[in-house]
């Protein structure tokens, strides 16, 4: 069964460093998302991406964040200068269509900023 994959599973970085979180969505999916979950809290939307552009972003997704689909399979989230409060689990999700279709989530990348 096709699934969303994410690498790395755990990333430790120093405050101020840049990190890139990688995702490979399900191959026939067209809509891609990033969410984050601070430890013990709810899952929060960051950004949605369709047709090679951002379709929506939350207030969390400020200028420090960017997303890219560099090729036909990868979908990346970059944080330019990490802060302590960026420590969280980051989930990538994809869906075949719009809101009617369920979003399938990857296993997550745990980002720890020291």
Partner 1 sequence: AQKVTQAQTEISVVEKEDVTLDCVYETRDTTYYLFWYKQPPSGELVFLIRRNSFDEQNEISGRYSWNFQKSTSSFNFTITASQVVDSAVYFCAYISNFGNEKLTFGTGTRLTIIP
Nearer Cβ to partner 1, position 47 or 81?
47
Residues 76-95 that bind partner 1 (CB under 8 A): 89, 91, 93
68 binds partner 1 (CB under 8 A): no
When the beta carbons of 45 and 66 are compared against partner 1, the nearer one is 45
CA distance 96 to 32: 9
Find out whether 10 and 58 touch, Cβ atoms under 8 Å: no
- Cis peptide before 36, with omega less than 30 degrees from 0? no
Our CB check for partner 1 shows the closer of 82 and 95 to be 95
Q: What is the DSSP letter of 85?
A: G
63 near partner 1, judged by CB under 8 A: no
Exactly one of 60, 76, 96, 107 binds partner 1 (CB under 8 A); which one? Answer: 107
Segment contacting partner 1 (CB under 8 A): 13-21, 22-30, 40-48, 65-73? 40-48
DSSP 16: T
Coil, strand or helix at 55: strand
Question: Is residue 5 within the footprint of partner 1 (CB under 8 A)?
Answer: no
Nearest to 6 by CA among 94, 84, 91: 91
């Amino acid at each position: 069964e096709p699934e969303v994959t994410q690498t790395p599973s755990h990333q430790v970085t120093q405050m101020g460093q840049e990190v890139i979180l990688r995702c490979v969505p399900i191959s026939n999916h067209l809509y891609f998302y990033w969410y984050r979950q601070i430890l013990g809290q709810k899952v929060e939307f960051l950004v949605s991406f369709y047709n090679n552009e951002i379709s929506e972003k939350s207030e969390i997704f400020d200028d420090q964040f960017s997303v890219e689909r560099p090729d036909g399979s990868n979908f990346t989230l970059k944080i330019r200068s990490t802060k302590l409060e960026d420590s969280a689990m980051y989930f990538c999700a994809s869906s075949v269509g719009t809101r009617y279709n369920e979003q399938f989530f990857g296993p997550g990348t745990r980002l720890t900023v020291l």
